Chain A
């Protein structure tokens, strides 16, 4: 697109006027397109915000359940057993695999996170099972579900950030076109039209003056 300062130096010709009008039509269609894009992005943003809220509720429930089961385990097997289990339980190595997913429709790339856990855990229990309650296992499973949920929420939040950036860029672009480019094109068109009109008017006057002079010259010739 032409730099904004260039609109001032446009030659006031009919050709430039046509070029300016074409430029205005293109800018208007870009505005329409940006508005549609903004709408799509905003809808997607609302969807993600709604999904994030739902996931957050599930996470809170899951954490509450995990804590409840942990307390239940303490009640059944005693604090002493749980403290000992916590001292010796094998650490599970959790990891998050980061990837990129491209959304062709929106033309954006989103981060994707996959929750991974150490396969070693499947081989043997991490703590003694005869002096701890099964509630501890259930609590541990629930905590792992919670961690998975946290990773999902992180993925949603990363997508929200990408969307907000995209929305902000498009909004800035839209504002720039609507509030600066289009008015300047309009001004340029008005200026060219004004100058062309002025030139036409001057030409018309000049023609009329010439006609009058020619007439006067003809009359003076007849009198002589």
Chain B
């Protein structure tokens, strides 16, 4: 756990993030050289630095930090963290599927794949080269979920839509993660379920709102949601999916969480409803969801016992949002976006 405290102290402060929005790419590179990102970014010089390289370096740093925690934790916690980091493994599988779909060469795999504890880049590349179809990639990398993927693969062959396959991959990841929490005990289990459950529900909310906005039929939306947590059970999600529009879906979910006296979700859905009545912008709604996800982690830091799993998960979430914020800043700087607009897009507690 001291590793968590040290790690948290090494996170970039909010004021520094604000100042970074005024940097250029070169200044950003020099600044990051004196932070925890130094091992990942020192492989290039400031003259050759690109936004793609930095984005890659941020993700590699996130993986390294996770690996340090996995290696230094007890078995149950280590397996949960391993499952937590498989988010990037599943992202890599999706990337391979997309690259295969678009007939890219295996060289492209090297540019798009991030090394994870589950597999290294060469393994992913080998799988890509050995597979003649998307089904082969999925069989070789996640044989456990292959039965769940049977229908989406058939649908893909019929229509050419990759979306159902991607959604099942997400479901597999979150189901695995949720299952891993059952191996925990006491406070650790409670906190892990609180943080991971909240993340799963946030994903459900995002899926419902975006598909509602795209006017996808309600029955199809329900297929792509995950009834994993107790708060958003199958019936609750069905009611939200059957609502008329984005606004009424939020209202339905709000009624459900109010009945279950869930303060965190109630706060988030109230904020979503207010924002929807003001702007109806889905990207603003997503920002609110992300902010509440981050605030949950911050709350865990403040209220949970010092030596608990909650601290690790919350720290990893904070680290993930730091990576996302740095990515936002670097891309914004590269595009010449005004610093106050970049700052407005950052996910801050």
A126: chain B residues within 8 A (beta carbon): 161, 163
Say yes or no: B286 contacts A133, CB within 8 Å.
Answer: yes
Q: Contacts A79-B52, A80-B112, A134-B210 given: A71-B335 contact, CB under 8 Å?
A: yes
Cα of A128 to Cα of B51 in the assembled complex, Å:
23
A10: chain B residues within 8 A (beta carbon): none
Q: Contacts A130-B167, A134-B285 given: A72-B345 contact, CB under 8 Å?
A: yes
CB closest chain-A residue, reference B102? A87
Say yes or no: A87 contacts B55, CB within 8 Å.
Answer: no
Cα of A131 to Cα of B98 in the assembled complex, Å:
13
Q: Contacts A75-B331, A123-B216, A135-B283 given: A128-B345 contact, CB under 8 Å?
A: no
Size of the B side of the interface (Cβ < 8 Å), in residues, is 48
Expressed in whole angstroms, the minimum distance between the Cβ of B128 and any Cβ of chain A is 14
A183 within 8 A of B: no
Cα of A11 to Cα of B324 in the assembled complex, Å:
96
Say yes or no: A90 contacts B94, CB within 8 Å.
Answer: no
Say yes or no: A137 contacts B215, CB within 8 Å.
Answer: no
Dominant secondary structure at the B interface: helix
| Interface size, A (range) | 20 to 34
B216: chain A residues within 8 A (beta carbon): 122-125
A7: chain B residues within 8 A (beta carbon): none
Cα of A80 to Cα of B109 in the assembled complex, Å:
12
From the candidates B206, B217, B328, name the one contacting A75 in the complex (CB within 8 A): B328
Cα of A137 to Cα of B51 in the assembled complex, Å:
23
Say yes or no: A80 contacts B55, CB within 8 Å.
Answer: yes
Q: Contacts A71-B331, A75-B331, A79-B51 given: A127-B163 contact, CB under 8 Å?
A: yes
A69: chain B residues within 8 A (beta carbon): 283
B98: chain A residues within 8 A (beta carbon): 84, 87-88
A193 within 8 A of B: no
Say yes or no: B210 contacts A76, CB within 8 Å.
Answer: no
Q: What 1/0 flags go to B51-75 for Cβ under 8 Å of A?
A: 1100110000000000000000000
From the candidates A75, A84, A88, A125, name the one contacting B345 in the complex (CB within 8 A): A75
B167: chain A residues within 8 A (beta carbon): 128, 130
Q: Contacts A87-B101, A123-B216 given: A131-B91 contact, CB under 8 Å?
A: yes
Residue ranges of A at the interface with B (Cβ–Cβ < 8 Å)? 69, 71-76, 78-80, 83-84, 87-88, 90, 120, 122-131, 133-135, 137-138
* Besides A71-B332, A71-B335, 16 new A-B residue pairs in contact (Cβ under 8 A), listed by A number: A75-B335, A84-B94, A87-B102, A123-B161, A124-B163, A128-B94, A129-B207, A129-B210, A130-B170, A134-B206, A134-B281, A134-B283, A134-B285, A137-B210, A137-B213, A137-B282
- 23 residue pairs of the A-B complex, CB under 8 angstroms, read A73-B283, A74-B331, A75-B332, A75-B342, A78-B331, A79-B55, A80-B55, A88-B102, A88-B162, A122-B214, A123-B216, A124-B164, A125-B211, A125-B214, A128-B163, A128-B167, A129-B206, A130-B206, A133-B286, A134-B206, A137-B213, A137-B214, A137-B282
